[in-house]
Amino acid sequence: MIVAMRADATAYEVDLARRDLRAHGLDSYQCRLGGRVVLSVPGARPELVEEVLSVYALGWTADPVGVPPLASAEATAGATRVRLGPAAEFGEDFIVMAGPCAVESEGQLATIAEAVAVHGAAVLRGGAFKPRTSPYSFQGLGGQGLNLLSEVRRTVGLPVVTEVAEPAEVGVVAATADMLQIGTRNAQNFALLREVGRAGRPVLLKRGLANTVDEWLNAAEYILREGNPAVVLCERGIRTFEPRTRFTLDLSAVPLVKRLSHLPVVVDPSHATGDRGLVEPMALAAVAAGADGVLVDVHHDASAALCDGLQALKPAEFRALVRRLRCLLAGLGRGLAGRPDVLPSMASPAAWVPEQVPL
């Protein structure tokens, strides 16, 4: 059961409403969504909630069937937007997030960050804490990686998304990152989800590699229930019987989740396919599926990458991808978020479409 308070309800009224619910044996969880406080009241009979709270003249109540309440489309009057710095708002223009899979060194990060910034990324990605399948694989630079991200953010001027893998590290990662990434291997680490729900930073929530859509939305609900409304879902492929791709990119999940939920959805074609040759077609397909953005691995020296080199685009390939994305988006009446000031020649699609994109 969801209860949306009036948009002008005061904190005092919200407190009173929650106290009244508690007096009737009903726990409630609070999140500010779409400009108003929304309460989730699990297991409540709608008539009882309406009776108890009628005095507060609610915005609306709803009983989303089979979808976690705060993540459900019924929780807000429209789609949620998540702002990340001045140039990136998920749910508004299409957001390209790009960078190395892992931060490896100062030089590596600076080279890749400058390339993706110049070629049209709105957000820089890069893992400092890397939860790897094998304990013998490169585990990331940890705190040193965070310092490098923080320096390069200053020089290239892009907001940074980076993974946090343990509840105890949320504070230190949140001190550097503009957006906290929850990786597929931690998608149901509920202690971690609760902690990022309290961290005051937007969250990029990957779908667990063996999670259903409902499990994924429930993972988002853990974050929302802590009061953090800024959740962006990321489809990154699921495990199937097909071994020729690293995972199977479930693109139908994009329009499905947009029907079920108010949260923005982006796609990671790099980790989904594990194959740089498949990244561009899947990124373009993500646009067609209605995604709000993509997360793309880029490396200037992919064969020497310490992590996931086979799926990393080279800078020139990334540049070509962004140009085609921009063209496709323009054809669909959508825009690409970014900084036209960086590349004035790319500000208008007409400047490059005929030259670059044989459609």
Q: How far is CA 23 from the centre of its chain?
A: 37
In contact, 112 and 137? CB cutoff 8 Å? no
| Residue of 68, 91, 127, 159 that binds ligand PEP (CB under 6 A) | 127
Question: Which one of ligand PEP, Mn ion, none interacts with residue 300, CB within 5 to 8 A by kind?
Answer: none
The two three-digit tokens of residue 86, written as one number: 């001045």
Residue 261 Cβ vs ligand PEP, minimum distance, rounded to whole Å: 19
Query: To the nearest 10°, the Cα dihedral for 330, 281, 218, 52?
Result: 20
The Cα–Cα gap between 266 and 251 comes to 10
Residue 268 Cβ vs ligand PEP, minimum distance, rounded to whole Å: 6
Question: Which one of ligand PEP, Mn ion, none interacts with residue 324, CB within 5 to 8 A by kind?
Answer: none
Q: Is 163 left (phi over 0), alpha (psi -120 to 50) or beta?
A: beta
Near ligand PEP by CB under 6 A, which window of 45-53, 111-119, 183-191, 347-355? Answer: 183-191
| Residue of 201, 271, 319, 324 that binds ligand PEP (CB under 6 A) | 271
DSSP string, 176-230: H-SEEEEPGGGTT-HHHHHHHHTSSS-EEEEPPTT--HHHHHHHHHHHHHTT---
The residue at minimum Cβ distance from ligand PEP is: 183
In contact, 100 and 270? CB cutoff 8 Å? no
Q: Which of 301, 329, 325 is nearest to 313 (CA)?
A: 301
The Cα–Cα gap between 354 and 144 comes to 44
In contact, 122 and 337? CB cutoff 8 Å? yes
For the window 219-248, what string marks contact with ligand PEP as x by the rule CB under 6 A?
A: -----------------x------------
Give the chain's end-to-end CA distance (angstroms, integer): 48
Q: Which is nearer to ligand PEP, 50 or 218 (CB)?
A: 218
Could you say which residues in the range 298-327 bind Mn ion, by CB under 5 A? 308
Could you say which residues in the range 139-178 bind ligand PEP, by CB under 6 A? 163
Q: Which is nearer to Mn ion, 76 or 273 (CB)?
A: 273
Is 101 a residue that touches Mn ion (CB under 5 A)? Answer: yes
Residue 200 Cβ vs Mn ion, minimum distance, rounded to whole Å: 26
Residue 96 Cβ vs ligand PEP, minimum distance, rounded to whole Å: 14
| Residue of 40, 76, 80, 184 that binds ligand PEP (CB under 6 A) | 184
Is 104 a residue that touches Mn ion (CB under 5 A)? Answer: no
Question: Which one of ligand PEP, Mn ion, none interacts with residue 184, CB within 5 to 8 A by kind?
Answer: ligand PEP
Q: How many residues bind Mn ion (CB under 5 A)?
A: 2
Near ligand PEP by CB under 6 A, which window of 32-40, 58-66, 134-142, 182-190? Answer: 182-190
The sign one gets for the Cα dihedral 133, 136, 142, 146 is negative
* 267 Cβ neighbours under 8 A, 6+ residues apart: 234, 235, 236, 249, 251, 254, 282, 283, 286, 289, 291, 293, 294, 295
| Residue of 206, 225, 324, 326 that binds ligand PEP (CB under 6 A) | 206
Is 268 a residue that touches Mn ion (CB under 5 A)? Answer: no
Interacting residues with Mn ion (CB under 5 A): 101, 308
Contact set with ligand PEP (CB under 6 A): 101, 127, 163, 183-185, 206, 236, 268, 271
